[in-house]
Structure 1
Amino acid sequence: MNKTNKEPSRKLLAVFAHPDDETFICGGTLAKYASEGVDITLVSATRGEMGRRMGNPVYINRETMPAIREQELRRACDSLGIQQLIFFDIRDKTVEFVDEIQLTNRIADLINEVNPDVILTFHELLGGHPDHCAIGKATTAAAEITGRRESLYFISYGDTMEHPEGFGYTRQDVVKVDVFAHLEAKLAAFRDHRCQTEIDEWVWQNDQEALARFGRYEYFLKGSEAARVQEQEQEQDDLFVATCVAQH
């Protein structure tokens, strides 16, 4: 009998607030790791039912929005290669008001179940939207109580962390992921979120023009003080390598 030794797959858990967070902010990175065989689980705390964009021309309403945004997110997951999707079914724009301990424990249970090598979420102060900050705070606390703080990374907007000094961080605190080879998947996911992107004309231009609007890199802030103090001789460009360095 022939026996093969199969390496355990790497796992990534992304805990976000709304449908489209995964695509608009770090879709290239998720597509990159999915293409490398990483097992990705995505949490959307809400179904985005309070979003103000309803298609262009409008084709949905407040009642139909949750189901439509779920469908669009599932299509985006297919485009990006995300295998597992979980909804917490918290009402949109109320994440900051749910019981923080219960939310933290729910995420901690999921961390223990998934056993991820990398955890992505929002920074609790730099997330921008209150839902983003609240889910980021709870995920950070969950990573702490499960002993996974060194696996934690905060997503960031655009190229803001190309100059992290303005936020009180250094380049050593940032992982810069090259997503150039995966921008087509990111664009497909943008288009999957139709009700949110139809108003943005550039998304629907020809592929070459639309792809030119994306940056080549996506940036992640290390969520662990231990990870940030690691001495690195070169810029880090892989979340999984950075995690291994921090844990050793």
Structure 2
Amino acid sequence: MSDKGQNQGRKLLAVFAHPDDESFICGGTLAKYAAEGVDITLVSATRGEMGRRMGNPPYLNRETIPTAREQELKNACDCLGIRQLRFFDIRDKTVEFVDREALVARIEALIRDLDPDVMLTFHEKLGGHPDHCAIGWATTEACRRAGRLESLYFISFGGMMEQPERYGYTRRDVVKVDVSAHLPAKLAAFRAHRCQSEIDEWVWRSDREALSRFGSHEYFLRAAPAPASDAAGRGARGLF
């Protein structure tokens, strides 16, 4: 049976730091739920203007990269089926230094306005980059203040949550999403972020070879404790 329309009318809010976070980390999940009718809003805190990759060979500079990365993100959103894109216009590599209360208030207002069923962001400690951790902390705090922590999930890198005990969590805390049917959309989004992915030769090989590099699942960590009945964790059925 087709999943088309399975989650029609439901909403997902993803709050990330940079263009490409959405594609490189959880593009399969976003494509899956968009295909099922979920209305997705993506927030990028920055335009990634301090990224070190300028194309291969380089064709961008500090003046041209923000506009290029903004357009690449718009193209990636089209590939993934993301309908709404918003920028917070924070300078890249400074998210941790902005007014924290103002950032939390901005995200909380967005949550209350959109009333999403599910929210995605970075873990404030496992994010791997100061901007990731800072936007993750602010989004988590905004969800807490809005009384929506149970709707929040943290993205994770690759299969790191196959062994959640290494990070102080259990399998009850992990949601595993089967994205195998949506890897072509994820690859298209990778390629849309041209200036960032051109240096990765495998992305530009044949579709078959490039797709073989992706895992069939993406993993998310619950922000709130798992229900007691969910003793061993689960895959995502419906919308998380």
TM range (shorter): over 0.9
Q: How far apart, in 2, do the equivalents of 1:189 and 1:69 lie? A: 13
TM-score (norm 1): 0.92
The answer to whether structure 1 residue 47 and structure 2 residue 43 are counterparts is no
Amino acid at match of 2:234: Q
Residue of structure 2 in register with 1:118 after alignment: 118
| Cα offset, 1:235, TM superposition | 4.0
The answer to whether structure 1 residue 18 and structure 2 residue 18 are counterparts is yes
Residues 169-208 of structure 1: matches in 2 within 5 Å?
169-208=169-208
Contact 2:33 2:239 in 1 (8 A): no
Q: How far apart, in 1, do the equivalents of 2:202 and 2:111 lie? A: 37
Residue of structure 1 in register with 2:228 after alignment: 230
Cα root mean square deviation, aligned: 1.3
Contact 1:119 1:152 in 2 (8 A): yes
Q: 1:129 to 1:233 in 2, by over 3 A?
A: closer
| Cα offset, 1:152, TM superposition | 0.3
Residues 12-91 of structure 1: matches in 2 within 5 Å?
12-91=12-91
Residues 205-224 of structure 1: matches in 2 within 5 Å?
205-224=205-224
TM-score (norm 2): 0.95
Contact 1:118 1:239 in 2 (8 A): no
Helix, strand or coil at the partner of 1:13: strand
For structure 2, the 5+ residue unaligned runs are 1-6
Amino acid at match of 1:160: M
Residues 125-164 of structure 1: matches in 2 within 5 Å?
125-164=125-164
Q: 1:80 to 1:241 in 2, by over 3 A?
A: closer
Contact 1:48 1:92 in 2 (8 A): yes
| Cα offset, 1:213, TM superposition | 0.2
Q: How far apart, in 2, do the equivalents of 1:239 and 1:48 lie? A: 33
Q: How far apart, in 2, do the equivalents of 1:168 and 1:191 lie? A: 35
| Cα offset, 1:236, TM superposition | 1.7
Q: How far apart, in 2, do the equivalents of 1:230 and 1:81 lie? A: 34
Q: Which portions of structure 1, spanning 4 or more consecutive aligned residues, are displaced by more than 6 angstroms?
A: none
Helix, strand or coil at the partner of 1:48: coil
| Cα offset, 1:238, TM superposition | 1.6
Helix, strand or coil at the partner of 1:12: strand
Amino acid at match of 1:83: R
Deviations 1:66-98 (A, max 9, x none): 000000000000000000000000000000000
Q: How far apart, in 2, do the equivalents of 1:229 and 1:152 lie? A: 14
Q: How far apart, in 2, do the equivalents of 1:238 and 1:106 lie? A: 29
| Cα offset, 1:230, TM superposition | 2.9
Identity of aligned residues (%): 70
Contact 2:8 2:37 in 1 (8 A): no
| Cα offset, 1:240, TM superposition | 5.2
Q: How far apart, in 2, do the equivalents of 1:229 and 1:36 lie? A: 25
For structure 1, the 5+ residue unaligned runs are 1-6, 243-248
Amino acid at match of 2:54: M
Q: How far apart, in 1, do the equivalents of 2:134 and 2:19 lie? A: 16
Q: How far apart, in 2, do the equivalents of 1:69 and 1:19 lie? A: 7
Helix, strand or coil at the partner of 2:234: coil
| Cα offset, 1:36, TM superposition | 0.1
